[in-house]
Amino acid sequence: MSNKQTLVVIGNGMVGQYFLANLMSSDICDHYQVVTFCEEPIPAYDRVHLSEYFSGKTAEDLSLVAPGFFEENNITIHMADKAISIDSDSKIVKSEKGLEIAYDKLVLATGSKAFVPPIRGHDRDQCIPYRTIADLDGMLAAAKESKVGAVVGGGLLGLEAAKALQDLNLETHVVQFGPRLMSAQLDDGGAGMLKQKIEDLGVTVHTNKNTIEIVDGEHCKHKMVFADGTELETDLVLYSAGIRPRDEISTTCGLKIAERGGTVIDNHCMTSDKDIYAIGECASWNEQIFGLVAPGYAMARTVIDHLSEGELTFTGADMSTKLKLNGVDVASIGDPHATTPGSLVYTYQNGVDEVYKRLVVSQDKKHLLGAVLVGDASGYPTLSQYYLNGIELPENPDSLILPSRSDESVGLGPDALPMSAQVCSCYDVSKGDICNSIENGNTSLAALKSDTEAGTGCGGCVALLKSVLDCELEKAGIEVNTDICEHFPYTRQDLYNLVMVEEIKTFNELIKSHGRGRGCEICRQAVGSILASHWNEYVLKDQHLGLQDTNDTFLANMQKDGTYSVVPRMTGGEVTPDGLIAIGQIAKEYALYTKVTGGQRVDLFGARVDQLPLIWKGLIDAGFESGHAYGKSLRTVKSCVGSTWCRFGVDDSVGLAVELENRYKGLRAPHKIKFAVSGCTRECAEAQSKDIGVIATEGGWNLYVCGNGGMKPRHGDLFATNLDKETLIKYIDRVLTFYVRTADRMQRTSVWMENMEGGLDYLRSVVIDDKLGVCEQLEDQMERVVETYQCEWKTTIEDERKLKRFRTFVNSDKHDENIIFVEERGQVRPANMEEREHLKLAEMA
């Protein structure tokens, strides 16, 4: 046997898993045989993003465990088994399933549970805590037969739970015991403003309500009865009124428990037994428990350091937070209630724009002690840096919360931060870590995020991360060269603006006035696409001809042997029998290889360039149009069969898909765009993997944006729910035009979103709240594109001059003899090298 000691970790939640992962990459990983107990049926997942389970994330998406992690690291995990007792004398842990494991060191990472008030009826059917994936599954099931939902608790988590109820299309209520929402973080002013904002979202907030019992309802399943005699009827009750540390197991071996719950730990996270540590939400340090993940991670690092005989200690943690609610900016830093003796307070209140800000500063006005931001949390990164790093405040601290009416910037430049400054508190990433990563070549926001994990937790630090990145790149003289190519000292977005503002209509005009040389395939294509997006002229017009990639010039995709594919549009994947027959006949006539694509339509391969116009003439006569399979433009709108035929269908997904495809067909964009429409949440059209995805629900259409399949799949983000068709189309118009105007060349919507400062919330603020005041312009532009649509193939076959282009040779009617097909499975395919040689020899003989 090895001389390894046994280390047992109880609980495989966020902190338990973080501990395991960090232990395995530490120097002492070989000293221990590790065993862990996981009470839940699945290993650790991202509880912080739990609510995204309702906006498209699956349990796998949320998983925090890399595939093969336990096997590769030789960790024994006992799944769905709860540790029930510890015998600290014989050092043995017992489990519910009857296991007995002897340990040398023990780490408690049992987390906490949602507090459920001990009132009569609290455990009725459909009264659920909001904590685990299993809870959420219960909620999903309950929501199916519910119309009204109520959340008990108006704190951070309660409001998140309320959002989830709304996503499930329930009439939503928040019941708060005290007078304020988010009472731990906000003062009266901030909480009042927040209440207004939450109610604007359609959630009813009930404050000062002490629930005394839950009984049978008259119109709904339950009735909540309050101490003041009022009542609330609801079908579903969610508990999210604070957390209670899970210290059941600590009591079995007499560990010291804090007065308000939680296993007591010292600065090394050691409990009252020197071989037992406690980390995460189950631990109480200095009579405090920490309901955030970052302090738990800090505790985990402290234990590993202590086991390695290091010096690290845990001495409390920053409890600053930002609410992760769409459309509601709320942040709180440090000591928002100004409890520090002598502290001074500045407040800014703007009832018109619903903005409230409060700063708490030290008596000498030199240091920030706390802050509250409601309605505009853009100052959060800067303020938290002042707070966390004790940076001296400017002379007039209120300049930090007053709207800046001059150009003078009050932001704290990233240069002012010490290397040790923590930029991301969720993953404890310092400015130094970020600079290292940049030096190692991670020079884009996306690369930096995936390398350091910064910004992938609550997202609160992304803006700061981006400014550190920009600043470092600039300093390193890595000139952030965003020029599109050597011919234009501009980004694609700049070029777009030039075209728009100066009303430039041709490439030559643009390169003469703003560029140099003749251009190359990069700028030519990019400008070609911009001109097409903005003016939507026929792409083969003489002055645009040289701007099109070969696929666009021939309005078909070139294949490996120099032949082309032909893809007629089949809106929504719908095709009549006659249409299918026509396609079949044409394919037969020209001996084209025929395949059903992944985009719900038919692709015909092996057309010679000179055959393209003939084939298209046939297709157009049969009523088909170009499918734009060749363009950086709208490809397909996939659909599922929907309510017309499907027994589960909630709305007519095919009808909507056809309408959307007809609206946006021909739209040129920085990259291709794909849509899908599903008729219900079973999602047979896979709408969540599309640039634009639409799903029918009882309450209307749910809109997802910026998803894609391909090399790096990304689920779309739920952008807005329960839309009527008119609003849906309005939002899609705006999102797409904004994308067309602001994305980089060859950037799909997913990457565009990943790189957008402010991300989804920002996009919502532009598209839904019209923050930039451009919505009307965006819609007008789309309207123009829709009105000027033409089938490029139709225009082409009607123009003798354009048809010249499709001759194989300008000076001969011969065909390219090097195109050689052989037969396979009853159809043609390009001959491979060997077959070519063979056929040539045979011909010569």
Ligand X SMILES: Cc1cc2nc3c(=O)[nH]c(=O)nc-3n(C[C@H](O)[C@H](O)[C@H](O)COP(=O)(O)OP(=O)(O)OC[C@H]3O[C@@H](n4cnc5c(N)ncnc54)[C@H](O)[C@@H]3O)c2cc1C
Q: Nearer Cβ to another protein, position 518 or 712?
A: 518
Asked if 77 and 36 count as a contact pair (C-beta separation under 8 A), the reply is: yes
The contacts of residue 654 (CB under 8 Å, 6+ apart) are 572, 573, 574, 639, 640, 641, 642, 644, 677, 679
d(CA 76, CA 791): 62
Q: Nearer Cβ to ligand FES, position 379 or 568?
A: 379
Size of the site for ligand FES (CB under 6 A): 11
For ligand SRM, the binding residue among 557, 688, 702, 749 (CB under 6 A) is 557
Contact between 601 and ligand SRM by CB under 6 A: the answer reads yes
List of long-range contacts for 139-147, beta carbons under 8 Å, 24+ apart = 139/164, 139/168, 139/236, 139/238, 140/54, 140/168, 142/235, 142/236, 143/168, 143/169, 143/170, 143/236, 145/235, 146/170, 146/220, 146/221, 146/235, 146/236, 147/171, 147/220, 147/235
Closest separation between CB of residue 424 and ligand FES, Å?
3
Binding mask 624-643 for ligand SRM (x = CB under 6 A): -----x-----xx-------
Which structure tokens are listed for 559? 């294949």
Query: Strand order of the sheet with strand 231-234?
Result: 211-216, 222-226, 231-234
Contact between 833 and ligand SRM by CB under 6 A: the answer reads no
Contact between 460 and ligand FES by CB under 6 A: the answer reads yes
Q: Nearer Cβ to ligand X, position 281 or 329?
A: 281
d(CA 733, CA 496): 18
Closest separation between CB of residue 564 and ligand X, Å?
52
Q: Nearer Cβ to another protein, position 82 or 840?
A: 840
For ligand FES, the binding residue among 56, 397, 455, 716 (CB under 6 A) is 455
Q: What is the dihedral of CA 183, 188, 191, 193, to 10 degrees?
A: 180
Q: Nearer Cβ to ligand X, position 184 or 786?
A: 184
Q: How many C-beta atoms surround the C-beta of residue 502 within 10 A?
A: 12
For ligand FES, the binding residue among 458, 527, 566, 583 (CB under 6 A) is 458
Q: How far is CA 262 from CA 276, 282, 625, 684, in A?
A: 14, 5, 68, 46
Q: Which does 668 bind (CB under 5 to 8 A by kind): ligand SRM, another protein, ligand FES, none?
A: none
Of residues 832, 806, 843, 820, the one with CA closest to residue 606: 820
Closest separation between CB of residue 546 and another protein, Å?
3
Supply the angle between the helices 380-388 and 462-475 in degrees, to the nearest 10: 80
Of residues 524, 463, 539, the one with CA closest to residue 492: 524
Contact between 521 and ligand SRM by CB under 6 A: the answer reads no
Contact between 563 and ligand SRM by CB under 6 A: the answer reads no
- Name the strand (E) or helix (H) holding 95: strand 92-95
| CA atoms within 13 Å, Cβ hemisphere of 460 | 32
For ligand SRM, the binding residue among 260, 274, 516, 595 (CB under 6 A) is 595
For ligand FES, the binding residue among 7, 35, 304, 426 (CB under 6 A) is 426
Stretch that binds ligand SRM, among 409-417, 575-583, 596-604, 783-791 (CB under 6 A): 596-604
For ligand SRM, the binding residue among 709, 776, 783, 818 (CB under 6 A) is 709
Q: Which residues bind another protein (CB under 8 A)?
A: 486-487, 508, 517-521, 523-525, 542-543, 545-546, 548-551, 553-554, 558, 560-562, 609, 804-805, 807-812, 814, 816, 818, 833
Q: Which does 160 bind (CB under 5 to 8 A by kind): ligand SRM, ligand FES, ligand X, none?
A: ligand X
Q: What is the dihedral of CA 696, 697, 702, 707, to 10 degrees?
A: -60
Which structure tokens are listed for 420? 């040790």
Q: Nearer Cβ to ligand X, position 155 or 414?
A: 155
According to DSSP, residue 69 is labeled H
The radius of gyration of the chain's CA atoms, rounded to the nearest angstrom, is: 31
Q: Which does 519 bind (CB under 5 to 8 A by kind): ligand FES, ligand SRM, another protein, none?
A: another protein
Q: How many C-beta atoms surround the C-beta of residue 127 within 10 A?
A: 22
Closest separation between CB of residue 340 and ligand X, Å?
23
Q: Which does 755 bind (CB under 5 to 8 A by kind): ligand X, another protein, ligand FES, none?
A: none
For the chain, what is the largest distance between any 2 Cα atoms, rounded to a whole number of angstroms? Answer: 103
Q: Which does 251 bind (CB under 5 to 8 A by kind): ligand FES, ligand SRM, another protein, none?
A: none
Q: Nearer Cβ to ligand SRM, position 51 or 557?
A: 557
Q: Nearer Cβ to ligand SRM, position 34 or 706?
A: 706
d(CA 158, CA 180): 13
- Point out which residues bind ligand SRM (CB under 6 A): 557, 559, 565, 567, 595, 597-599, 601, 603, 629, 635-636, 672, 674, 708-711, 748
- Point out which residues bind ligand FES (CB under 6 A): 424-426, 454-461
